[in-house]
Amino acid sequence: MKFLVSNDDGIHAEGILQLAASLTELGEVTVVAPDSERSAAGHAITMHHPLRVREIKLPGLDAQAFAVNGTPADCVKLGIDELLAERPDFVFTGINRGANLSTDVLYSGTVSAAIEGCIMGVRSAAFSLLGGKEMDYSFAGKIAAEVAKLMSEKDFTAQTLVNVNIPNVPKEQIKGMKVTRLGIRRYEKNYEKRNDPRGNAYYWLTGRLIHESLDEDIDMEAIRNNYISITPLHYDLTSYEMLESFRQWGFENEFYGL
């Protein structure tokens, strides 16, 4: 098995080292990741300046590693197109420092890097460890290796991305794994307004998560109950239930006087 490993916390983050280390036990790993943190970069790609690549040595890791001055999606695109000698069997991203749950997946560089893998036809998975004072990525790394084994055994198309979130509690408190769906993650008081020394207002993104009661099969609820959440995702955002309505409403045969 050949893995391309990326993230959005940057190539020097502890989570990517643990993910890469776990996967070297299953096959060949190449790390291609941003040279600095690019969390919340979403699916951005770099168009207006050149991408530079530096090969580096990650501590204690027996794998090639490339630091790129781009976004997570850039890293996967460039990695598959240019840097890896052969096409990878899997793109695995993370282990992210903090959750990537529900609608937050749309902001996540870690999830977007995995989506980029899917778009390029490579089976992909994203891994996130819930935030906390202590971050121990070793158990999450083992979960990633198990997911890789399952993905290689099952009939599994590259059109589906696997999004895995792992609770940040001692292993004994984890109740198991739940297959979940995305919910809507809402925040309140999103911005703190302050004044700069010249008297002009500026805004700093903060935000408190609104806790709602949720269906049991929503990813956030599984995490709240100390389950590992595993969600199949798809990058096709088409609203299939509306296709027929749009046709019936006459969008296809009206020109609205243009």
Provide the binding-site residues for Mn ion, judged by CB under 5 A: 8-9, 39, 96
Question: Looking at beta carbons only, is 209 or 242 nearer to Mn ion?
Answer: 209
The DSSP string of 28-39 is EEEEEEESS--T
Nearest residue (CB) to Mn ion, 8 versus 104 = 8
Is the four-CA dihedral 245, 250, 253, 255 of positive or negative sign?
negative
Q: How far is the CB of 11 from Mn ion (least distance, A)?
A: 12
In single-letter form, the type of residue at position 144 comes to A
- Closest distance of CB 14 from Mn ion, Å: 12
Which residue's CB is nearer to Mn ion, number 104 or number 194? 104
Residue nearest to Mn ion (CB): 39
Nearer to Mn ion, 77 or 97 (CB): 97
Minimum distance from residue 94 beta carbon to Mn ion (Å): 8
CB 163 within 8 A of CB 215: no
121 versus 132: smaller Cβ distance to Mn ion? 132
Q: Beta strands of the chain (E only): which ranges?
A: 2-6, 28-34, 53-56, 64-68, 90-97, 123-129, 161-166, 176-179, 187-188, 191-195, 201-205, 208-209, 227-233
Q: Which residues pair with 218 in a beta bridge?
A: 181
**Phi-psi domain of 199 (left: phi exceeds 0; alpha: psi -120 through 50; beta: other):** left
Q: List the one residue out of 28, 140, 46 whose CA is nearest residue 86.
A: 28
**Considering the complex, what minimum distance in angstroms separates the CB of residue 10 from Mn ion?**
9
Least distance CB 77 / Mn ion (angstroms): 19
